[in-house]
Amino acid sequence: AQTVTQSQPEMSVQEAETVTLSCTYDTSESNYYLFWYKQPPSRQMILVIRQEAYKQQNATENRFSVNFQKAAKSFSLKISDSQLGDTAMYFCAFRIAGGTSYGKLTFGQGTILTVHP
């Protein structure tokens, strides 16, 4: 079974500063995908960034980047130049590639991020 752990229940950051959210996972699979999702107060989950386990290069999407350490099973999210609109719950998620798991995403417990003006 796969598990995803987010050890920071809450984080806060000042506007324009940088913040890093932590995520570790446990799996015996070698091929998988990792995701960071954002859930603002509107409740709609939005994909922030995706990383394929077979790629060594860390994914980046504008102000969002990840630090993927496969051996350590670590997948942290860095948000640069934080904006008020980044305030949300952030979830780290894991999905096995192929096999019978199909659409199943395994989520961490989430980190509430608050950006202060």
User: Under the criterion CB under 8 A, does residue 50 sit at the interface with another protein?
Assistant: yes
CA–chain centroid gap for 29, Å, is 19
Nearest approach in angstroms of CB 61 to another protein is: 12
Stretch that binds another protein, among 20-28, 56-64, 68-76, 95-103 (CB under 8 A): 95-103
Rounded distance, CA 46 to CA 51, Å?
15
Q: Work out the number of other CB atoms within 10 angstroms of the CB of residue 81.
A: 11
Q: Which is nearer to another protein, 85 or 98 (CB)?
A: 98
**Residue 70 near another protein by CB under 8 A:** no
Q: Rule CB under 8 A: is residue 8 a binding residue for another protein?
A: no
Q: Please, which residues bridge with residue 47 across strands?
A: 37
Instruction: Please give the DSSP secondary-structure letter assigned to residue 14.
Output: E
At closest approach, how far in Å is the CB of 74 from another protein?
20
Size of the site for another protein (CB under 8 A): 26
Residue choice 44, 62, 113, 114 for contact with another protein (CB under 8 A):
44
- What whole-number distance in Å separates Cα of residue 33 and Cα of residue 103? 11
Q: Could you give the count of Cα atoms lying within 13 Å of 98 in the half-sphere of its Cβ?
A: 5
Stretch that binds another protein, among 8-16, 18-26, 36-44, 68-76 (CB under 8 A): 36-44
